[in-house]
Every structure is written in structure tokens, then in C-alpha cells.
Amino acid sequence: MATLQDRFNINSQLEHLQAKYVGTGHADLSRFEWAVNIHRDSLASYVGHHPMLAYFALAENESIGRIKYNLMQKMLLPCGLPPEKEEEG
């Protein structure tokens, strides 16, 4: 019984973590989901670090405000459309 209890606990703990911290992975995480997460993390980090924004702005010759907006917009679909779900057999 004890082992079952433990497993239940670990699962519930994981679920709790997944709910609390966006991006916490799980066993069935797909490549796409993982990439989307990484990209969103990166984009949020760029937006938070002003020197990075300034660097991008310099390269693209845009204003920093525009770069920031573009990066935020990109967080919607950072890796393009999700792949078709395989039918579960």
C-alpha cells in the first residue's frame, strides 16, 4: 500500500508543479511542446533584458519599442503551427 501511496503523491506533486510553473515537462512531452516552451522562455528573457533589445534593435534598425512588441507577438506561435496530432490507435 505504501508504494501506491508514494506514487500517488509523486504524481500529485508533479501535477502541482506543472500547474504552478509553466513549462514543467512531463513524460509524454512532444518535441514541439518542448520547443514552444523554450522559445517562450527565451522571448520573455529578451524582453526583460534591455541590452538585448537594444542589440536586436541595432541589427534590424528598428526602434526598441517595436522590437519588444514583435517579440511579445511572437510568443503566440513561437514555432509556427503545432503538428497534426497522431490518431491514437
Q: What is the DSSP letter of 22?
A: T
The answer to whether 73 and 30 are in contact (CB under 8 A) is no
Comparing CB distances to other proteins, the nearer of 5 and 61 is 61
The yes or no reply on residue 81 touching other proteins (CB under 8 A) is yes
Within 10 Å of residue 69's Cβ, how many Cβ atoms? 13
Comparing CB distances to other proteins, the nearer of 9 and 77 is 77
The yes or no reply on residue 26 touching other proteins (CB under 8 A) is no
Binding letters toward other proteins, positions 61-80, x by CB under 8 A: xxxxxx--x--x--xxx---
The yes or no reply on residue 14 touching other proteins (CB under 8 A) is no
Q: Kindly write down the DSSP assignment for every residue of 57-77, as one continuous string.
A: HHHHT--HHHHHHHHHHHTSS
